[in-house]
Structure 1
Amino acid sequence: MGEFWPVPDALAYLVGRWRVSRSVRDLANGAEGEFTGVTEFGPLPDGATGLGARETGGLLHHESGTFVWQGVARPAERTLRFLRGPGGTAEVRFADGRPFHDLDLTSGRHVADHPCAADLYRGEFTVHDSDRWRTVWRVGGPAKNLVLRTDYAREG
């Protein structure tokens, strides 16, 4: 891949609305799917970080669209919390507050791991420019063998 675009402040970069296109491939059986929709990064509701007195601010990430798996289309959505970390980084949490992964885009590229039961999710985040970035999650373990590639393009 070409050069990466450094991001000094992950939250400042992410804020706004993004078009999302995700491909999902099951390497075990060859099944494929795709998600198309939008992701919005907006302000967290007051008290939504779950950090109590050390609350540091962040963004609420809400993704919604259509997921097509083996020809069947279904509505899909998810919510994450992106909390402000040190030096322009972010800490990503699930909607219920459980930790997901860290995010440091200061070099324009970041790799994060998330263990999930016996499976391991390894995500690579790359920033192309001010309006485009990508994630590639590789999921491996006894229950899953997947590659999820997501492209984000800023709207407006």
Structure 2
Amino acid sequence: MHLVPDVAAYLTGRWHVERAVYDLRAGTEGSFRGTADFTPDGPDGALCHTEEGELTWEGVGYPATRTLRLRPEPDGTATVTFADGRPFHDLDLRTGHWTTVHPCAADRYEGVFTAVAADRWHLEWRVTGPAKDQLLRSVYRRTG
């Protein structure tokens, strides 16, 4: 694992994203390929996290985007919110590894972040509940 004393400094820039998406209830799977940009967003040192690319599901491609906001804390950790300001999760990569939980209605999102190297990190979300039974595995590689 790669120790990350300042998560905002580590993430700033452009990353290539490859994500495998499994719907365990339906027995179907898909993939996402695109980019993730972490760019400065305001005077508080926050970063705008924008992902853009293509989601392929059962052989059909769809444009896909998402936007999050990462607010750094003085200790090198961060708080992540949705674009509209609703809380999502906290993020602490000082040991190179972080586990977090996000309740979404009756579903539960369990996230595992792993900083593998200075230019690569992994994210796995396991989603369980009455509405979803999914596994999402992402690999982020720094571009340029």
Tell me if both proteins adopt one fold, taking TM over 0.5 as the criterion.
Answer: yes
1:44-90 Cα shifts (integer Å, max 9, x gaps): 045xxxxxxxxx32100110000011111110001100001241000
Q: Structure 1-normalised TM-score?
A: 0.90
Identity rate, percent = 54
Structure 2 letter corresponding to 1:43? P
Amino acid at match of 1:15: T
The corresponding residue for 1:138 is: 126
Q: Kindly provide the amino acid, as one letter, of the partner of residue 41 in structure 1.
A: F
Q: Which has the higher strand share?
A: 2
Q: Which runs of 5+ in 1 are unaligned?
A: 47-55
- Residue type at the aligned position of 1:26: D
Matched, 1:36 2:24: no
Report the Cα distance in structure 1 between the residues aligned to 2:123 and 2:92, rounded to whole angstroms.
13
2:67 maps to which residue? 79
What is the aligned-residue RMSD (CA, Å)?
0.9
Give distance in 2, aligned partners of 1:91 and 1:137.
17
Q: Which runs of 4+ in 1 moved over 6 A?
A: none
For normalisation by structure 2, the TM-score amounts to 0.97
Q: Which residue number in structure 2 is paired with residue 107 of structure 1? A: 95
In 2, Cα distance between equivalents of 1:115 and 1:85:
22
Given the alignment, which residue of 15, 21, 26 partners 1:18? 15
Which ranges of structure 2 fall in alignment gaps of 5 or more residues? none
